[in-house]
Amino acid sequence: MISNVTFLAPARAANTDAMDPSGHRYLITKCKMDVGDDNIAIKAGKKIPGREFQSEDFLVTDCAFLHGHGMSIGSETVGGVRNVTVKHCTFENTENGIRIKSDVRRGGLVENISYSDITMKNVFPAITFTCYYMSDSAGDAPRPAAAQTNTAPTTGQSIPIFRDIRVTNLKATSLKSAGVIQGLPENCISNVVFENVRISSPKGLTVRNAKGIRFISSNILAADGAPVISDNAQIEGLETPTQK
């Protein structure tokens, strides 16, 4: 258990993660994180003999995320991550809100992830689930052209698979966009449910290479353009999104 700890670092200081936990049965509660990199990044960088998942059974609750790159899983997910619950947390001025990040060099299975009862203020963006982990935060390498298309060379590499993700009772204001859900053409991000979610932002949510994306009693209020912009995506529950 990690409880009642404050982590402080300059907002622009690189590589100043507050916590990079991996393993089993973590409780992280009542912590305050104001740093220059990931506030929390759950890691699974290698396969563990005899274990299906390197990192599982995490509960993050009643924490305050300030400057930093948000509540992350990854970017190393080769060993697998499952059964992560994040609830009753606040985010303010974070560069990301909730984020699952990996790529074809260090990907693995991430499943059974739950976020609930979350408030975000002035984040950018609110949600990032990406299998192309580049250009999602300041200082990241430029995003490859394949990330903007449906042609990604992934044969024989470590493929990220994200599935069974639920976001419930989230209210956010974003300075940039609602966010992005970015899977791979041959391994779509799947079964993501947003229930009672409200995000206000300049631009909507981009959903690419994804299936089973469902919105229940939820709204994305985009000042400019459609609430959802989709490409090779199956989406239910919002008004018909713009299809690229």
Q: Which residues are catalytic?
A: 37, 69
Neighbours of 118 (CB within 10 A): 23
CA distance linking residue 93 with residue 148, whole number of Å = 27
CA atoms within 13 A on the CB side of 26: 27
Pairing of strands 205-216, 189-201: parallel
Neighbours of 129 (CB within 10 A): 26
User: Smallest Cα–Cα separation from 79: which of 40, 51, 111, 99?
Assistant: 51
Reduced to 3 states, what is the DSSP secondary structure of residue 9? coil
User: Smallest Cα–Cα separation from 71: which of 33, 121, 111?
Assistant: 33
Tokens of 209: 């290479």
CA distance linking residue 56 with residue 81, whole number of Å = 6
Q: Which amino acid is at 65?
A: F
Pairing of strands 109-123, 161-174: parallel
